[in-house]
Amino acid sequence: MPRPSLFLVVLTCAGAAPALAAECRVPRNSNEAKLLAFYSAPLSFSPASAPEHALSWTFRIGAEGGPIPDPDSAIQTSGACFTKKSENTRLSPFFGRPRLTLTLPGGFALEASYLPPIKIHDAEPNLGSAALSWVKRLRMASTGNSTDIMLRFHGTAGQVKGAITCPSKALQMTDVTRPCFGTKPSLDTFKPTMAGIEAILSTAAWDGRLAFYAGGGRSFLRPRFRVGFTDGLGSVDSTLITVNLNRVTMFGGVTAEVSNAVDLSAQAYGVREDGVTFRFGAGYRLHR
């Protein structure tokens, strides 16, 4: 689970005003919106592996993770909701989560993932994702290789809580007009709510032991960020930052069948406006 060490500190100048409890709806082209979208992309619930026409009631237990890049310095200056300010925004360099998949009759499958509210470092995640997919076999070659197409709907909801805007190392008691004036770290909430639709095409090689896939779709992002900071004078900043965004997504990857039960996968997931992330996963299949 990513640790939001100084994530989105540019979104707020907590402590710069006596009391804030308003909603700030930022423009879609603002740096605040770009940062919210940038940190939503790594959480998107993309396919765990190449589409396959598996036997009904096959249960796959897996996990995935990958590095999270730093945002471009060009979007690290904000000013839509507070005083213009530039800071270094940084998440933990890695994100991971469990994956569960249940294959249903008719080519359908259900996928799910959940990160419980167990505090990790300074962050407390409580995130859930789910997806419904349908696979159609287009062609089966005499070699045993196949070509499949998948249609998939997915969604993610929940929150990450922690000292995001004003962690301990950013606190100061020297200037009341500067951000993070106080002695108690903030308790902020980031909600990366999103949903999407995707189409994926895969083709197998080496008797189905290796599968390559590529796909794309559209994601509907509804991220929300709630500041939670009480400054040294007792003033509470609980500003809610909101924006609604749509994104075109593209991805591609490879899945290797190590055995009849074990698979390994690697994927590149990209959004033109937000960049590319890489994900690596493994799964173990249980058959009925």
CA atoms within 13 A on the CB side of 287: 5
Would 1 be classed as within a structural domain? no
- Residue 139 banded pLDDT, cuts 50, 70, 90: confident
Hey, what are 246's tokens?
A: 């749509």
- R_g over Cα of the chain: 21
Would 253 be classed as within a structural domain? yes
Would 224 be classed as within a structural domain? yes
Number of domains in the chain: 1
Residue 102 sits in which domain range?
Answer: 9-286
pLDDT over 60 (residue 6): no
The pLDDT score that the predictor gives to residue 167 is 82
Would 2 be classed as within a structural domain? no
- Residue 12 banded pLDDT, cuts 50, 70, 90: very low
Q: In terms of C-beta density within 10 A (0-12 exposed, 13-18 middle, 19 or more buried), how is residue 277 classed?
A: buried
pLDDT over 60 (residue 5): no
What is the model's pTM? 0.86
For residues 77 and 10, what is the distance between their CA atoms, to the nearest angstrom?
Answer: 6
- The residue with tokens 């992309």 is 41
Closest CA to 184 of 197, 173, 195, 198: 173
Cβ-proximal residues to 24 (8 Å cutoff; 6+ apart), any chain: 80, 81, 239, 240, 241, 242
Q: What CATH number corresponds to the domain at position 64?
A: 2.40.128
Would 265 be classed as within a structural domain? yes
Would 14 be classed as within a structural domain? yes
Closest CA to 127 of 190, 64, 34: 190
Would 122 be classed as within a structural domain? yes
- Residue 143 banded pLDDT, cuts 50, 70, 90: low
Would 4 be classed as within a structural domain? no
Cα angle 262, 267, 270; round to 5:
160
pLDDT over 80 (residue 243): yes
- CA 98: distance to chain centroid? 13
Cβ-proximal residues to 263 (8 Å cutoff; 6+ apart), any chain: 49, 255, 256, 257, 282, 283, 285
pLDDT, tens only, 53-85: 788 999 999 999 998 888 887 777 666 676 554
pLDDT over 50 (residue 270): yes
